[in-house]
Structures are given as C-alpha cells and as structure tokens.
Amino acid sequence: MTDQQISRIAEEAGALDCIVEKDAVLKDHTTFKIGGRCSLLVKLRGEESFLKLIPLAEQLGVTYYIFGKGSNLIVDSDGIEGVVFVSGKDFSEIIRKDDEALICTAGTPLSQICGAALEYGLTGLEFAYGIPGTLGGAVFMNAGAYGGEMKDVVVSVRAMDRTGRVIEYSADELDFSYRHSRFSESGEIVLSAEIRLRKGDKAAIREKMDELMEKRRSKQPLEYPSAGSTFKRPEGSYASLLIEQCGLKGVHVGDAEVSVKHSGFIINKGNADFSQLMELIGIVKDTVKEKTGYQLECEPLIISDKEEYKAERKGTE
C-alpha cells in the first residue's frame, strides 16, 4: 500500500465531508480497548460515502475494514496496514415506515433503536437492549441474547457489493443462523434494514428492558472492556459452562483475564494487549479441548496482519 493510494482515499473522503485521520489508534474504536494504529481511518458520512469510497478502495487494491462500534473485534496491538472505515453516528438514522416497522441505517446503535421502539410502543426488540453494537454489525452476525435474535425482527436488508451495486434482500435470503448471516461470507456491506415489531404496552416494554439490563449488570463484567462473549456456543453445551468446569475462571495472561463474574467473557483489566489476549484464548481453547473434547471457536473477529490470524479474518463489525 502506497502513500499515494492512502492520499487518494483521504482526498476523496474529505470531499465527501468525512472525518479523516492518518495513523489513527484503533483501541479508541473497539470495546476491548485493544488495537494499534491503522494507515488511515475514515468516518463514513451517509450512504453516498459508502457507495463511492468502498469501490475506490477496491479499485486501488487497498486493504480495508469496516467498523461499527468495534464491539465484536479483536485488533492487533501492533497495528494493521490498511484503511478502517467507521460506520457510526454520521450514518445513524431511524425512519418509522408504518405502525409496526422501523427502517434503520447501518451505523445506528442498537440502544438507539431499542429506545425508538419503546417510544413508539413496539415490542420484540427488548432482547437487544444493552448489546453494544450497531445495526450493521448486529445484522452481519445475527446478534442475539436472552432468547431473541436479529433474525426474529429483520424482514429486509439493503446492502451493497464491493463495486457499489445496491441490492435488497428479503428475510428468507439472509441465511440467518447462530451468529451468522449471508454477509459473513458474501463480502457485501449492510446499508440499512427494516425491522418489523408488534404493538405493545410501553410500561411492559420498559419493564422488560430494565429487567434484561439488570440481568446483564448482575451477571456480566460490564465494568471492564471486552467484546462480550468471547466464544461461540458449541453444539450440545455452553462455552461458559465448559470453561468454568475446567477451572479457568480468573486465569490471566497479563491484564487479559477470564472473568470471575462470567467465565464466557475474557476481559481487559487495564493494559492488556493483543498478544496477551490471544495467548489466553489459546490456553482456554487447548484446556477445554483436552478436558472435555469440545473445540471452542472465537466469536469476535480477529484483525491482524500476522499470517497465523489471517485465516480467521472473515469480516468486520
């Protein structure tokens, strides 16, 4: 990647009124608070910037990533070579389509969408209250909690391919499954989604949201940086149960620690870096495999230029 390529993207992004930062520190853009510098960071501003800058990066042959709130990412502390496009508050909009449907753009935080649903007296999205991600990332990985998933409420998605062509998919074309959607493999980018809910009682919706948030606070280590659940649920068991059975609660490498409060979370207790985190993840995987036979798989996406991690990089959130 050359300085000329980076400068070209920076120039085009500036013309689209995007915020541009060279050598940006990525720990400021992930919930783990881990990550080194990238060549260029661009805060996308509206759909036009998606449609112009992503195809430009493709044409130039530049490596790039798309971040939302960085809530499902593990980023190398040594930094990465490439452009990070951030889809956030400058691509955040909620439109009420009808009495029971909302259209939300990719950068809209789930907390904001849940708030809008409450305001309109719409039920069905309470499970997402407290998930620290954006609409785009939630659709990408079919985010879920407490018995609900995005597949239960998303009825259509507008996406673009890497050439800038816009496509609309109905729910049955999205290939939703556990922490998976068609976007996990297709390379397409979520622009917006229609969420269809049901009319409900505002007081009951508020009560359910508060109940689930209190459950999160009491059972999850929200006081520390993390990427939420570190491992996917293996078929036939639960990652947290297996980790606890193996006596791994509290095990740490530097400031990376298996949470004592919830063994499914690996947390950053202060100054953990990528190497510490990955070493601890390896210890957990190896121990669980040896003692139980289960092979755990990371839920967060790993972003690193190191060869051993490139095979695990399937997308961004």
Backbone φ and ψ for 26, nearest 5 degrees, come out as -80, -15
Helices and strands (H and E) in the chain: how many: 9, 18
The Cα–Cα gap between 143 and 299 comes to: 11
Q: Measure the N-to-C terminal CA separation of the chain; round to a whole number of Å.
A: 23
Sign of CA dihedral 117, 122, 128, 134: negative
Q: Give the Cα-Cα-Cα angle 147, 151, 154 (nearest 5 degrees).
A: 125
CA distances 126 to 121, 123, 190, Å, are: 11, 7, 22
Rounded to the nearest 10 degrees, the angle between the axes of helix 3-15 and helix 46-60 is 160
Smallest CA-to-CA distance from 201 within 300, 123, 297 is with 123
Catalytic machinery residues: 179, 229, 299
Rounded to whole angstroms, the Cα distance separating 70 from 87 reads 10
Give dist(CA 234, CA 308) in Å, integer: 23
Contacts by 23-28, CB closer than 8 A, 24 or more apart? 24/84, 26/70, 26/75, 26/79, 26/80, 26/84, 27/75, 27/77
CA distance 154 to 128: 13
**Percentages helix, strand, coil for the chain, rounded to the nearest 5?**
35, 25, 40
Element (H, E) at 83: strand 80-86
**Cβ–Cβ under 8 Å, residues 159 and 190:** yes
